[in-house]
Amino acid sequence: MKAAFINETGPPEVIQYGELPTPEPTGGEVLVRVGAVAVNPVDTYIRNGADFWELPIPFIVGCDLAGVVEAVGPGASQYQVGDRVWGSNQGLLGRQGTFADYCAVDESWLYPTPAGVSDEDAAASALVGITAHLGLFGEARLTAGEKVFVQGGSGGVGSAVVQMAKAAGASVITTAGSNEKAATCRRLGADMAVNYKTDDVDAAVREFAPDGVHVFWETQREPDFDKIVEYLAPRGRIVLMAGRDARPEFPVGPFYVKGCSLYGFVMFAATAQQQRACAEDINQWLASGKLKARIDRVMPLTQAAAAHRLQEENTLLKAGTLAGKIVLLP
Ligand SMILES: NC(=O)c1ccc[n+]([C@@H]2O[C@H](COP(=O)([O-])OP(=O)(O)OC[C@H]3O[C@@H](n4cnc5c(N)ncnc54)[C@H](OP(=O)(O)O)[C@@H]3O)[C@@H](O)[C@H]2O)c1
């Protein structure tokens, strides 16, 4: 089969595109013929040598996939040949990745793709959707009627958080890096979207939530906690999920006097059962149109190295040339 893989970590150019043996599904694994994959920032950290865990060599990059079951292992019972499935947990914790014609995935990490939802949309919603769900509902316990601030609503995670918060009956204010991206956030359901480069964000928050927001979701790696705590309502919750090396200042007094809480998490630490519960809601929202994948562009899998470069130029260097997911087709 053809695959995008690395034999050593390093810059995007270490990604090769070539022939690797097609995997055989063993135990509870299912062999998926890949229809689409999506790029996540974590793919680029792993490729660059982040050393979170030991990698198989050659290592096929990528976490997200959607496709069709081609074969089932002897211990797999949930899926049959021809079923459409998606998943987001390959390429993590030492597992082989998804950027290939075929991928062997333990069935516990696969979910059925709803009729009418494309492989592109399922792959693009996978890791970011599960992340948004875990943070909003598992950690921050968002309830209907609450107000949510999403920092960076045009990105992969941010656009999922905006839509899920709306689907749960909350109201949403979000920031984006251009008027066009702010308009996109409003189309995704945000009640208010402000251009963080040109608009007065403080004034917008005061207008949107005079008593403060109940949940603040930070997608950026260097949170400004003085601002965040100022924006929060009493007993407000902050969700953090980016910035491993960040060591920002923290306003201890204002935080505890307001009775606030801070939640941090990483999606790949969630159990298969927890992630499946997220996937069930994601499937319902994808099928009903409440959740739409925010796809910036679709490229051939042969362009995996270019896709990694584009992703890291944006997530790390804030180039602003991307709004949502890069989807690749084998
Ligand atoms: N903990 C976990 O489990 C987990 C899971 C997934 C992702 N992550 C991490 O979460 C972060 C976001 O991931 P992602 O996939 O959403 O990345 P992404 O698609 O690159 O989105 C990042 C967004 O940040 C926005 N942004 C840049 N500067 C900003 C600023 N000053 N204020 C507000 N927004 C700003 C950009 O929007 P504009 O272009 O509009 O400026 C961009 O869309 C990454 O660091 C990733 O590693 C963690």
Q: What is the pLDDT of residues 257-289, one digit of tens each?
A: 999 999 999 999 999 999 999 999 999 999 999
Average pLDDT of the chain? 98
Is the shortest distance between the CB of 196 and ligand 1 below 6 Å?
Answer: yes
Residue 318 CA to ligand 1 center (angstroms) comes to 9
Q: What is the pLDDT of residue 205?
A: 98
Alpha carbon of 191 to ligand 1 centroid (Å):
20
For the residues 15-31, what does the mean pLDDT come to? 98
Mean pLDDT of 9-14: 98
Residue 330: pLDDT band (50, 70, 90) is very high
201 lines ligand 1 (CB under 6 A): no
Atom 41 (ligand 1): residue with closest C-alpha? 177
Q: Quote the pTM value.
A: 0.98
Residue 313: its pLDDT value, please?
Answer: 97
**What confidence category does residue 141 fall into, taking pLDDT thresholds of 50, 70 and 90?**
very high
| % of the chain at pLDDT higher than 70 | 100
- Per-residue pLDDT band for 296 (boundaries 50, 70, 90) equals very high
Our mutation pick for probing the ligand 1 site, out of 185, 186, 219, counting the most ligand atoms within 8 A of Cβ, is 219
Secondary structure of the chain in HEC code, one letter for each residue: CEEEEECCCCCHHHCEEEECCCCCCCCCEEEEEEEEEECCHHHHHHHCCCCCCCCCCCEECCCCEEEEEEEECCCCCCCCCCCEEEECCCCCCCCCCCCECEEEEEHHHCEECCCCCCHHHHHHHHHHHHHHHHHHHHHCCCCCCCEEEEECCCCHHHHHHHHHHHHCCCEEEEEECCHHHHHHHHHCCCCEEEECCCCCHHHHHHHHCCCCEEEEEECCCCCCHHHHHHHEEEEEEEEECCCCCCCCCCCHHHHHHCCCEEEECCHHHCCHHHHHHHHHHHHHHHHHCCCCCCEEEEEEHHHHHHHHHHHHHHHCCCCCCCCCEEEEEC
Determine if ligand 1 sits within 6 Å of the CB of residue 318.
yes
Note the pLDDT of residue 277: 98
| Residue 26 Cα to ligand 1 middle (Å) | 36
**Nearest residue (CA) to ligand 1, atom 47:** 41
pLDDT for position 257: 98
Nearest CA to ligand 1 atom 26: 152
Residue of the nearest CA to atom 45 in ligand 1? Answer: 242
Q: For residue 10, what pLDDT band results from cuts at 50, 70 and 90?
A: very high
User: pLDDT tens, 43-79?
Assistant: 999 999 998 999 999 999 999 999 999 999 999 999 9
**Per-residue confidence (pLDDT) for residue 329, from 0 to 100:** 98
Choose which residue among 315, 317, 326 to substitute to test ligand 1 binding: the one with the highest number of ligand atoms within 8 A of its C-beta: 315
Ligand 1 centre distance from Cα of residue 276 (Å): 24
Please tell me the distance between residue 314's alpha carbon and the centre of ligand 1 in angstroms.
Answer: 8
Q: Is the CB of 154 under 6 A from ligand 1?
A: yes
pLDDT interval class at 122 (50, 70, 90): very high
Residue 255 has a pLDDT of 98
| pLDDT, mean of residues 125-143 | 98
CB 128 near ligand 1, within 6 Å: yes
The pLDDT of residue 185 is 98
